[in-house]
Amino acid sequence: MSAPNKAYDPVEAATLSAGELQRMQADALAAIAAAANLDELKTARLAHAGDRAPLTLANAEIGALPPAARADAGKRVGTARAAVRAALVQRQADLEAERDRRVLVDEAVDVTLPWDRPMSLDGARHPVTTVGERLADVFVSMGYEIAEGPEVEAEWYNFDALNFPPDHPAREMQDTIFVAGAEPGERSGMVLRTHTSPVQIRAMLTRPLPLYVVSPGKCYRSDALDATHSPVFHQIECLAVDEGLTMADLRGAINAFVEAMFGEGLQTRLRPDFFPFTEPSADVSMQCHVCRGASAQPGGQPCRVCRSQGWIELAGCGMVNPRVLVACGIDPDRYSGFAFGLGIERSVLVRHGVADIRDTLEGDVRFSRAFGMEA
């Protein structure tokens, strides 16, 4: 390239002749027109509009012309370069449009193909886990905390502290599985917990008052396995101990829970029952969430879920027996409490219309998969 000197060198400035510029422009336009795709156009752009392109070099020579000639040469170079730029823009647009048209056709796929998560299998959580979490979360959202305890439990926690007197028939109701003693025939003082209620005792002994806990967990009874009973099952219980708690608070908690779990506006019903650790005690039924009681009315359609009873037995509940408070060192004259517990499998059965509890036990992948990640 020529240095910007004052000495005019017509040889060096030959590239700025009109004929030469016209040839450069024609070459460029031909190359642009000939570019069949965007890659070729990119090559053409480099060759004819890049830093080393003839027109670019010609432009640099303008400075070498005598001042009188510069304006004219500049105008001619500028015109030529503008024409090339315009052609590039146009060709770019044409080629992009063509590419888009082609892509839409060539790259179209059948999005309905069963591309069943080829990178992994179809995983799922067990509904007893997910329904259990939901049940717990209803209470957690009310401010309860989740308390947990062991499954192999001392008899004292499982029975005595819960006001099951020794040899009382109430213990027999629970079909207990006992841990063997050191020698055959000897006692161990330990059982597989028959309910999650011992966690209540543990919570009352270790947590400050007032106390609001919910305890989900596995329980064991030597029941025969049938469509509605399993020897290994899960329960969830809530326990509240505070000043001034009444059965009205218990009913409020039950109603809030049933609404959250089964739907708004479902009625609940308490009927007297017996649990050693609550007094008064009640069983809880809720209006059937499917037929809303209509099946029990004259002329109602039969309901499979509540067996046309209109009500579904759901849980046991009551006011914490003052004897239980005493065994936990809580002053029953100052504090009262309520407790409320239900089977998680039973909730799964009721909520999802599962007919046989054994479906929850067998580990058949089809069962869990139907529930996915959250119930």
Partner 1 sequence: MRLPLSWLLEYAAIDVSPDDADGVADLSRRLTACGLEVESVEPVGHDISGVVVAEVLDVAELTGFSKPIRYCRVSIADGQQRHVICGARNFAAGDRVALALPGAMLPGGFEIGARKTYGRVSEGMICSALELAVGEDHSGIMVLPADAPLGADFVTYAGLRDVVFDINVTPDKGFALSVRGVARELAISCQVPFTDPADVGLPADATATSPEVHPVSIEDTTACDRIVLREVRGIDPATPTPLAMKIRLARAGQRSVSLAVDVTNYLMLELGQPLHAFDRARLHGPVVVRRAQPGEKLETLDHVVRTLDPEDILITDESGPISLAGTMGGVATEVSDSSHDVVIEAAHFSARGIARMSRRHKLGSEASARFERGVDPQLPHRASARATTMLAALGGGTVVPGCSFAGAEIEPVRIAMAADYPDRLAGLVYGLETVQKRLREVGCAVAHMPGSAADRSDGAGAGSGAAAGGGEGAARPDHGRHDRPDLTLLVTAPSWRPDLTDPADLAEEVIRLEGYQNIPARAVRAVGGRGLTGRQRLRRSLSRALAADGYVEVICSPFTSVLDFDRLQLPAGDQRRQAVRLANPLSDDEPLMRTTLLPGIFRTLARNLGRGFTDVSLYELGMVFRPKSGAPPLAPILPVDRAPTEQEVARLGAALPDQPLHVAAVMTGNAEPAGYWGAGRPAGWQDAIEAARLVLRSSRLTFSVRADQHQPWHPGRCAAIVIGTEQGQEWLAGHAGELHPRVIAAFGLPARTSAMELDLSVITAAADAAGPVQPPSLWSYPLAVQDVALVVPQAVPAADVERALAAGAAAAGDVRLESLSLFDLYTGGQVGEGFKSLAYTLRFRAPDRTLTAEEVRGARDAAVAEAARQTGAVQRGG
User: According to the binding rule CB under 8 A, does residue 263 interact with partner 1?
Assistant: no
By CB under 8 A, what part of segment 302-361 binds partner 1? Answer: 319, 321-323, 326-330, 336, 360-361
Which one of the spans 19-27, 82-90, 156-164, 350-358 is the region binding partner 1 (CB under 8 A)?
Answer: 156-164
**CB closer to partner 1, 254 vs 291:** 254
**CB closer to partner 1, 290 vs 325:** 325
**CB closer to partner 1, 69 vs 170:** 170
**CB closer to partner 1, 49 vs 361:** 361
Secondary structure of 21-32 as H, E, C letters:
HHHHHHHHHHHH
Distances (CA, A) of 254 to 51, 89, 269: 80, 72, 10
The answer to whether residues 32 and 41 touch, using CB atoms and an 8 Å cutoff, is: yes
Q: How far apart are CA 254 and CA 9, in angstroms?
A: 102
Distances (CA, A) of 3 to 12, 43, 337: 11, 29, 99
Residue of the chain from 3, 19, 182, 265 that contacts partner 1 (CB under 8 A): 182
By CB under 8 A, what part of segment 267-296 binds partner 1? Answer: 269-274, 276, 279-282
**CB closer to partner 1, 15 vs 194:** 194
Strand, helix or coil at 296? helix
Residue of the chain from 49, 177, 209, 266 that contacts partner 1 (CB under 8 A): 177
Which one of the spans 19-27, 88-96, 100-108, 158-166 is the region binding partner 1 (CB under 8 A)?
Answer: 158-166
Q: CB 101 → partner 1: shortest distance, Å?
A: 28
Q: CB 235 → partner 1: shortest distance, Å?
A: 14
**What is the per-residue DSSP string for 211-264?**
EEEEEEEEEE--PPP-SS--SEEEEEEEEEEETT--HHHHHHHHHHHHHHHH-T
Strands 311-320 and 152-154, by their bridges, are unpaired
By CB under 8 A, what part of segment 197-216 binds partner 1? Answer: 205, 210, 212
Q: CB 202 → partner 1: shortest distance, Å?
A: 9
**What is the per-residue DSSP string for 46-107?**
HHHHSTTSHHHHHHHHGGGS-HHHHHHHHHHHHHHHHHHHHHHHHHHHHHHHHHHHHHHHHT
By CB under 8 A, what part of segment 101-120 binds partner 1? Answer: 113-120
**CB closer to partner 1, 25 vs 163:** 163
**CB closer to partner 1, 27 vs 242:** 242
Q: What would the x/- binding string for partner 1 be over residues 216 to 255, using CB under 8 A?
A: --x---x--------xx-------x-x-x-xxxx-xxxxx
Q: What would the x/- binding string for partner 1 be over residues 117 to 146, using CB under 8 A?
A: xxxxxxxxxx-xx---x------x-xxxxx
**CB closer to partner 1, 54 vs 276:** 276
Residue of the chain from 4, 67, 166, 298 that contacts partner 1 (CB under 8 A): 166
Q: What distance lies between CA 20 and its chain's CA centroid?
A: 71
Strands 145-146 and 211-220, by their bridges, are parallel
Encoded tokens for 320: 């914490």
Q: CB 353 → partner 1: shortest distance, Å?
A: 20
Q: How many residues bind partner 1 (CB under 8 A)?
A: 104
Q: How far apart are CA 114 and CA 117, in angstroms?
A: 9
Q: CB 139 → partner 1: shortest distance, Å?
A: 9
φ and ψ of 340, to 5 deg? -160, 125
Residue of the chain from 165, 300, 302, 353 that contacts partner 1 (CB under 8 A): 165
Q: How many CB atoms lie within 10 A of CB 200?
A: 29
Q: CB 275 → partner 1: shortest distance, Å?
A: 9
Encoded tokens for 37: 């795709």
Q: CB 343 → partner 1: shortest distance, Å?
A: 14
Distances (CA, A) of 96 to 82, 108, 295, 353, 366: 21, 17, 67, 57, 49
